[in-house]
Structure 1
Amino acid sequence: MTDIRTGRCQCKAVDYEFTGFPRTVHACHCSECQKRSGSAFGLTMVVGKDSFVLNGKLTTYVRVSDSGQSVTAYFCPMCGSPIYGELERFPDIVAIRPGTLDDTSWFKPERHIWTDSAQNWFEFPEGCEALPKGRW
């Protein structure tokens, strides 16, 4: 049996599902993720694009990353909830914002990345991998 995971935006105008398990779940402390999330870090769950199904219309914001390639953020035009992102350099994945999942009890971040940019008050969990400038 294949696990089906579901999620939605705050106003429920947009929902999604994906099958299976994520390739990775990480907390990114780069300044861009802090701005995107409005928090100390951005939480990202990477899944295969072929397993992701979206229902509803989203608005996008595209920026150019340090690598020179585009990063596209998809969010609900009604409530503003960030749903997922796409990276030009990794066309076969989507980066889900796991706070939008209907059930968040089954996962936790495997690592923290770009920890050199972390807020000075943040304490990393003991035993969790922390990469100063790392990528997932």
Structure 2
Amino acid sequence: MAASDSAAILTDGCQCGKVRYEVGGPRLGLYVCHCRECRKQSASAFGISAFFRSAGLRLVSGELQSWSRTTKSGWRLISFFCPACGSRVWHGDKDREAEICIKGGSLDEPPDLTGAVHIWTSRTLPGVIIPEQARRHAEDPD
């Protein structure tokens, strides 16, 4: 994963505003995922995932619920969301895992996708254009 130069504290939250959180420290990676599961969770053409160290994440207000599923590679994905509006805000158990995955749609300031790595491009929807210079993987990255 490519590290970001920025170590600013980012503010984030759900769609209804009941859940607010902050994440600080450098961004460890930025991915645009075209797999079917990410399309379903984002209700869009792809999902955006920004990786940070779990220690930099702090829930400011609200309560979260979680849901989990087994991925194709066999590991357990834990998703945290607002119980009021259903917005998914991050993946990963911040109390048990070193890194968490902030969902791009929950960021107050959307990430610049210029340097994002595109994954599961074998599942890209027709009409979605991936920039020629973008790093890409047909499935999961190595």
Q: Does 1:74 align with 2:86?
A: no
Provide the rounded CA distance (Å) in 2 between the counterparts of 1:53 and 1:19.
9
Within a 5 Å distance, the mapping from 1:55-74 to structure 2 comes to 55=60, 56-74=62-80
Q: Look up the equivalent residue of 1:80 and give its one-letter code.
A: G
C-alpha distance in 2, partners of 1:133/1:86?
20
User: By how many angstroms is 1:134 displaced?
Assistant: 2.9
**Deviation of 1:68 (Å):** 1.8
CA RMSD of aligned residues (A): 1.8
CA distance in 2 between partners of 1:78 and 1:135 (Å) = 34
Q: Normalising by structure 2, what TM-score?
A: 0.85
1:107 to partner: Cα distance = 3.0
Partner Cα distance (1:93, 1:44) in 2:
12
Which structure 2 segments of 5+ residues have no match? 1-6
Percent of pairs with identical residues: 32
Q: Indicate whether 1:23 and 2:28 are aligned.
A: yes
Match for residue 99 of structure 2 among 93, 103, 109:
93
Summarize deviations over 1:72-108 as a string: whole Å, max 9, x none. Answer: 1111111111100117xx921110012211222x532
TM-superposed CA distance for 1:135, in Å, is 2.4
Matched residue SS, 2:97: strand
Q: Distance in 1 between matches of 2:140 and 2:18?
A: 35
SS at 1:80 equivalent: coil
The structural deviation recorded for 1:25 is: 0.8
Judge conservation of contact 2:67–2:80 (CA < 8 Å) in 1. Answer: yes
TM-score normalized by structure 1? 0.88
Of the candidates 36, 39, 48, which is equivalent to residue 43 of structure 1? Answer: 48
Aligned residues: 132
By percentage of residues, which structure has more strand? Answer: 1
